[in-house]
């Protein structure tokens, strides 16, 4: 199909596709980069002195093409000589300079307008401060440059601004500062570490900060500073503690020491994503730094800890060793997500963290892998790289590293990462280099494993078993397959580690794998990692004295969809006594799925789900979880929580939105009735007056109590509604306040509805000056499952609390409705789809990255019934017809319409 046929404006070319196979080394390299920013109200002048030299690894070039976008060139000089119009030429987003010598200094002066930069990429203004976001290709919006990660340079940066911006920051160490004319001042920063331009950062603002210090393992003192708007100074402690814990953990677990004398974090309100790992000067979305019990939920606290760690860990996995090109993004992102996830597991509960990560992966990443934007963790091509900061590159990327760690074992994996960091320190490398270091250090052949980097899609495992009582042999036959994805129809088998055990009547059975070496490393003969490397393999266990229940894919040892024909009785056994905590939870989810699927059949046949009852064994199983004191309360909470509507949709070939919603609700109501007494006990035993603490145990106790409240509120009992309202009014922390408010807002009981209106009003009055808290207030309303929510969302767009330019507000209101509220988003013949398309069209020119991200729910149109398909597709076509469509939106829409 031509671009015109696809609706792309005829006068323009369809955006270009970039291919990994076309990679070429840069013709020039940049030894040093000296920048001077003169910040004035309305415009900023950027002087850039680049010391360029021909790349010895490239064919000698005598012209140089620099990247540049939305820049006004004021002057350009080569080795001190001002260039004339014939000496260079402007292209689309670039500037070519002719007759360039082997080595030279290029001075450019450009003018930019941060105040009108709404894309939040490059240098922009957020409320009272100036800040930057350069990854992936934002530096070209600051000055003409070789804006690619394999060009690494030593940066010196001077920032000059009015004294009403007292804090002037950039990467590295402060080497000079002082006054300038007209009540202005300057600061000069030097970063001794060579870095690509995407890690550049600058901040100028009236900021307050907290300060601490960290002594590294070699005894160096590092100053730690967190900068925020003065009103937020009381919300920085948790981020600081998380930072210090991360620094220590990276020394202990990976042998990585911090390298500069100062590490700074700045919190910014307008930010496209969570945070950015700029060298020595991390810039964070306020939502990922600020936390205090009164304003922040437990999930918020955990997010701060995780994101602070993630960005800090990038100092090695990303900054010291960086990516050769953007196809290698998972080299730094997958590895760093794996690192932050292990850190969080060590700080709290390993099993709980695993359940959370897998839930995210199976709902969002699996859906991505099954949709039109599916791509391998190392994509082969892209139109706009910003579209590839995905669940696949991040979360599936982390799973690939986790599998490598499982296959190599702890010791070899650490040897491998040590070798990787040593071998490539200061370089821009590829995922091949990473795997090669692991293979070299461990002596393992990882050739087959590398298919995980090049093949997209979620592999399926189909497992059958056979028990031969006479021979006392038990065999598992495992078949693998992988559905086609846009880039590849026929997949080769993956190398899949399958952690497993066998449950007998008295516990885990010892495992004697036929024809295998004894497992010396773990010293544990009840747990094994089987390695599947072909389309079908059979593993035989000897000396098995009874027919076992297999516990498969323990800890979710591979990102696959597994099928084994478990009976309800098997699942109950696994849920109540598997030694693998993750698989206990997994069994609870399978039981929940079974119940929901039964209810769905009734719903789809026009049956009545009122008074839907559950099978007695199932109720008994759930009851026993509630009574099991040995279980972590957070695990009890997760085991009691049924699979989400999003996960149920991902599992379905054809999504029946109403059947999923009403059946899931019916099962929840049935559980609430059956377990009323136990749930009441959980709720009442909880001491609502205890002081807040953010320890894993305290978080777990709150989550279980609030899960119980969620079930109890389904009973529509006025006394319980009153208790919920009391929790809303009297709690000393945002977790409990939000849990109660969410229940009131979503309850159909008339009393709850009345109380919800009051509570929402009271909440806003109380928190209107706390932007992040107001976001939670927007989300709770946008997520309401009762009818009429779209009208509420539209009304809230006009509310003074809403700001259609701020990504956090857009996420809180628009994304929460379109992604998190299927029963309303898909209601009323497509009005939700039209609403979303309107938002995307409005955002397309204002903030293309956010516009493109919002598209996700429409890209899944093929999963719905014919009527919905055509309504969703019509909206995609409407977006496609917009003139001046950004590359970001064009790529996702055009791929979705194929």
* Binding site residues, ligand B3K, CB under 6 A: 135-136, 273, 275-277, 310-311, 314, 333, 386, 389
Q: How far is the CB of 274 from ligand B3K (least distance, A)?
A: 6
Reference 67, options 12, 110, 118, 126; nearest CA is 110
- 280 vs 643, beta carbon nearer ligand B3K: 280
* Span of 32-40, 217-225, 330-338, 886-894 interacting with Zn ion by CB under 5 A: 330-338
Residue 357 contact partner, candidates ligand B3K, Zn ion, none, CB within 5 to 8 A by sort of partner: none
Q: Are 330 and 431 spatial neighbours (Cβ–Cβ below 8 Å)?
A: yes
- 344 vs 649, beta carbon nearer ligand B3K: 344
* Span of 326-334, 348-356, 430-438, 509-517 interacting with Zn ion by CB under 5 A: 326-334
- 228 vs 276, beta carbon nearer ligand B3K: 276
Neighbours of 410 (CB within 10 A): 12
Q: How far is the CB of 303 from Zn ion (least distance, A)?
A: 14
Between CA 10 and CA 19, with CA 15 as vertex, the angle to 5 degrees is 145
Q: How far is the CB of 196 from ligand B3K (least distance, A)?
A: 12
Residue nearest to ligand B3K (CB): 135
Q: How far is the CB of 135 from ligand B3K (least distance, A)?
A: 4
Q: How far is the CB of 99 from ligand B3K (least distance, A)?
A: 35
Transcribe 361-373 into DSSP letters. IIIIIHHHHTSTT
- 95 vs 243, beta carbon nearer Zn ion: 243
Q: Are 200 and 132 spatial neighbours (Cβ–Cβ below 8 Å)?
A: yes
Q: Are 292 and 331 spatial neighbours (Cβ–Cβ below 8 Å)?
A: no
Give alpha helix (H) positions in 686-798.
696-712, 718-730, 734-746, 750-767, 771-782, 789-797
Give alpha helix (H) positions in 122-276.
237-254
Q: Which of 121, 137, 305, 311 is catalytic?
A: 311
Q: Are 95 and 89 spatial neighbours (Cβ–Cβ below 8 Å)?
A: yes
| Residue 851 CA from chain centroid, whole number | 17
Q: How far apart are CA 56 and CA 102, in angstroms?
A: 10
Q: Are 572 and 591 spatial neighbours (Cβ–Cβ below 8 Å)?
A: yes
Reference 485, options 623, 643, 347, 372; nearest CA is 372
Q: How far is the CB of 812 from ligand B3K (least distance, A)?
A: 20
Q: How far apart are CA 23 and CA 417, in angstroms?
A: 26
Active site residue 311: yes
Q: How far apart are CA 28 and CA 16, in angstroms?
A: 23
Do you find a cis peptide bond into 803, omega within 30 degrees of 0? no
Q: How far is the CB of 314 from ligand B3K (least distance, A)?
A: 6
| Residue 594 CA from chain centroid, whole number | 29
Residue 654: exposure state from Cβ atoms within 10 A (0-12, 13-18, ≥19)? exposed
Question: If DSSP codes are grouped into helix, strand and coil, which group holds residue 897?
Answer: coil
Q: How far is the CB of 392 from Zn ion (least distance, A)?
A: 14
Residue 273 contact partner, candidates ligand B3K, Zn ion, none, CB within 5 to 8 A by sort of partner: ligand B3K
Residue 229 contact partner, candidates ligand B3K, Zn ion, none, CB within 5 to 8 A by sort of partner: none
Q: How far is the CB of 330 from ligand B3K (least distance, A)?
A: 11
Residue 276 contact partner, candidates Zn ion, ligand B3K, none, CB within 5 to 8 A by sort of partner: ligand B3K
DSSP code, position 99: S
Give the x-and-dash track for 705-744 against Zn ion (CB under 5 A): ----------------------------------------
Q: How far is the CB of 793 from ligand B3K (least distance, A)?
A: 26
Residue 398 contact partner, candidates ligand B3K, Zn ion, none, CB within 5 to 8 A by sort of partner: none
Q: How far is the CB of 375 from ligand B3K (least distance, A)?
A: 16
- 333 vs 586, beta carbon nearer Zn ion: 333
Site residues (CB under 5 A) for Zn ion, limited to 332-371: 333, 336
Place of tokens 């967190």: 226
DSSP code, position 138: T
- 28 vs 389, beta carbon nearer ligand B3K: 389
Residue 856 contact partner, candidates Zn ion, ligand B3K, none, CB within 5 to 8 A by sort of partner: none
Place of tokens 């129809």: 489
Question: If DSSP codes are grouped into helix, strand and coil, which group holds residue 473?
Answer: strand
- 276 vs 404, beta carbon nearer ligand B3K: 276
Place of tokens 């009131």: 744
Q: Which two tokens stand for residue 737?
A: 């306040």
Residue 203 contact partner, candidates Zn ion, ligand B3K, none, CB within 5 to 8 A by sort of partner: none
- 311 vs 395, beta carbon nearer ligand B3K: 311
- 660 vs 892, beta carbon nearer ligand B3K: 892
Q: How far is the CB of 155 from ligand B3K (least distance, A)?
A: 18
Residues 6+ apart with CB under 8 A from 630: none
Q: Are 494 and 451 spatial neighbours (Cβ–Cβ below 8 Å)?
A: yes
- 273 vs 532, beta carbon nearer ligand B3K: 273
Residue 79: exposure state from Cβ atoms within 10 A (0-12, 13-18, ≥19)? exposed
Residue 389 contact partner, candidates Zn ion, ligand B3K, none, CB within 5 to 8 A by sort of partner: ligand B3K
CA 843 vs CA 35, 173, 389, 771, 772: distances in Å? 32, 38, 19, 21, 21
- 323 vs 511, beta carbon nearer Zn ion: 323
Residues 6+ apart with CB under 8 A from 871: 829, 830, 833
Place of tokens 């603490």: 693
Q: Are 417 and 254 spatial neighbours (Cβ–Cβ below 8 Å)?
A: yes
CA 619 vs CA 167, 672, 688, 852: distances in Å? 60, 10, 28, 44
Q: Are 192 and 174 spatial neighbours (Cβ–Cβ below 8 Å)?
A: no
Q: Which two tokens stand for residue 642?
A: 């049924």
Q: How far is the CB of 478 from ligand B3K (least distance, A)?
A: 34
- 341 vs 775, beta carbon nearer Zn ion: 341
- 305 vs 333, beta carbon nearer ligand B3K: 333
Count of residues engaged in binding Zn ion, rule: CB under 5 A: 2
Q: How far apart are CA 175 and CA 406, in angstroms?
A: 45
Q: Which two tokens stand for residue 109?
A: 């002066």
Q: Are 138 and 121 spatial neighbours (Cβ–Cβ below 8 Å)?
A: yes
Residue 386 contact partner, candidates Zn ion, ligand B3K, none, CB within 5 to 8 A by sort of partner: ligand B3K
Residues 6+ apart with CB under 8 A from 455: 376, 482, 485, 488, 491, 492, 494
Active centre residues (catalytic): 311
Residues that bind Zn ion (CB under 5 A): 333, 336
């Amino acid at each position: 199909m031509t671009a015109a046929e696809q609706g792309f404006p005829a006068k323009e070319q369809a955006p270009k596709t970039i291919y990994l196979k076309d990679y070429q080394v840069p013709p020039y390299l940049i030894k040093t980069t000296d920048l001077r920013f003169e910040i004035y109200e309305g415009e900023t002048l950027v002087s850039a002195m680049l010391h360029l030299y021909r790349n010895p690894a490239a064919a000698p070039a005598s012209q140089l093409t620099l990247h540049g976008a939305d820049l006004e060139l004021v002057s350009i000089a080569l080795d001190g000589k001002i260039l004339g119009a014939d000496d260079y030429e402007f292209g689309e987003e670039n500037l070519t300079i002719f007759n360039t010598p082997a080595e030279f200094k290029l001075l450019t002066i450009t003018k930019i307008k941060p105040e009108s930069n709404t894309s939040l990429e490059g240098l922009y203004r957020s409320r009272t401060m100036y800040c930057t976001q350069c990854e992936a290709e934002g530096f070209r919006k600051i000055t003409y440059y070789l804006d690619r990660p394999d060009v690494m340079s030593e940066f010196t940066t001077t920032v000059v601004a009015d004294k009403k911006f007292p804090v002037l920051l950039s990467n590295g160490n402060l080497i000079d500062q002082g006054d300038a004319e007209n009540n202005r001042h300057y600061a000069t920063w030097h970063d001794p570490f060579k870095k690509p331009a995407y890690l550049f950062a600058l901040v100028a603002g009236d900021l307050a900060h907290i300060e601490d210090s960290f002594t590294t393992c070699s005894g160096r003192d590092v100053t730690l500073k967190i900068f925020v708007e003065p009103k937020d100074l009381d919300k920085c402690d948790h981020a600081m503690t998380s930072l210090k814990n991360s620094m220590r953990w990276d020394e202990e677990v990976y042998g990585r020491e911090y390298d500069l004398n100062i590490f700074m974090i700045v919190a910014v309100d307008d930010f496209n994503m969570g945070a950015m790992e700029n060298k020595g000067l991390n810039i964070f979305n306020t939502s990922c730094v600020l936390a205090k019990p009164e304003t922040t939920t437990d999930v918020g606290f955990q997010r701060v800890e995780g994101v602070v760690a993630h960005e800090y860990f990038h100092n090695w996995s990303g900054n010291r060793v960086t990516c050769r090109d953007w196809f290698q993004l998972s080299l730094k992102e997958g590895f760093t997500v794996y690192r932050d996830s292990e850190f969080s597991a060590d700080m709290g509960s390993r099993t709980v963290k695993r359940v959370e990560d897998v839930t995210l992966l199976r709902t969002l990443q699996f859906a991505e892998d099954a949709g039109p934007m599916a791509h391998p963790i190392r994509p082969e091509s892209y139109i706009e790289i910003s579209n590839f900061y995905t669940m696949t590159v991040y979360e599936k990327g982390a799973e690939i590293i986790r599998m490598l760690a499982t296959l190599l074992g702890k010791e070899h994996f650490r040897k491998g990462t040590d070798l990787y960091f040593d071998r490539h320190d200061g370089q821009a490398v590829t995922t091949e280099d990473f795997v090669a270091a692991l293979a070299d250090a461990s002596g393992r052949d990882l050739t087959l494993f590398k298919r995980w980097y090049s093949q997209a899609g979620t592999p399926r495992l189909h497992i059958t078993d056979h028990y031969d009582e006479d021979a006392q042999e038990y065999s598992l036959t495992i078949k693998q397959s992988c559905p086609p994805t846009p880039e590849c129809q026929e997949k080769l088998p993956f190398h899949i580690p399958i952690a497993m055990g066998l449950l007998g009547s008295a516990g885990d059975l010892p495992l004697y794998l036929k024809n295998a070496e004894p497992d010396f490393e773990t010293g544990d003969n009840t747990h094994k990692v089987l390695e599947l490397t072909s389309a079908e393999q059979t593993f035989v266990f000897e000396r098995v004295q009874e027919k076992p229940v297999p516990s498969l894919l323990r800890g979710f040892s591979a990102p696959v969809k597994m099928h084994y024909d478990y009976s309800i009785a098997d699942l109950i056994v696994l849920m109540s006594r598997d030694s693998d905590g993750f698989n206990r939870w997994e069994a609870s989810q399978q039981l929940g799925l079974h119940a929901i699927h039964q209810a769905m059949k009734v719903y789809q046949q026009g049956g009545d789900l009122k008074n839907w009852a559950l099978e007695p064994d199932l109720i008994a199983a759930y009851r026993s979880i509630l009574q099991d004191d040995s279980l972590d309360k957070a695990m009890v909470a997760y085991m009691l929580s049924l699979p989400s509507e999003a996960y149920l949709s991902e599992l379905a070939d054809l999504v029946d939105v109403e059947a999923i919603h009403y059946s899931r609700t019916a099962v929840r109501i049935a559980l609430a009735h059956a377990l009323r007494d136990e749930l009441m006990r959980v709720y009442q035993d909880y001491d609502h007056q205890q002081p807040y603490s953010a320890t894993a145990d305290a978080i777990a106790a709150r989550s279980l109590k609030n899960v119980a409240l969620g079930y109890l509120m389904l009973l529509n009992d006025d006394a319980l509604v009153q208790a919920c309202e009391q929790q809303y009014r009297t709690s000393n922390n945002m977790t409990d306040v939000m849990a109660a408010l969410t229940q009131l807002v979503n309850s159909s009981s008339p009393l709850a509805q009345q109380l919800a209106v009051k509570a929402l009003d009271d909440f806003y009055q109380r928190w209107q000056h706390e932007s992040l808290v107001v976001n939670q207030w927007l989300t709770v309303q946008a997520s309401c499952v009762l009818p009429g929510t779209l009208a509420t969302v539209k009304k809230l767009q006009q509310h003074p609390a809403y700001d259609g330019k701020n990504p956090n507000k857009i996420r809180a209101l628009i994304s929460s409705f379109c992604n998190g509220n299927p029963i309303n988003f898909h209601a009323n013949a497509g009005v939700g789809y039209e609403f979303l398309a309107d938002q995307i069209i409005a955002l397309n020119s204002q903030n293309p990255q956010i516009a493109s991200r919002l598209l996700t729910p429409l890209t899944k149109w093929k999963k719905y019934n014919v009527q919905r398909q055509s309504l969703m597709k019509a909206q995609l076509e409407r977006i496609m017809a917009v003139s001046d469509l950004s590359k970001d939106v064009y790529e996702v829409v055009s791929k979705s319409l194929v």
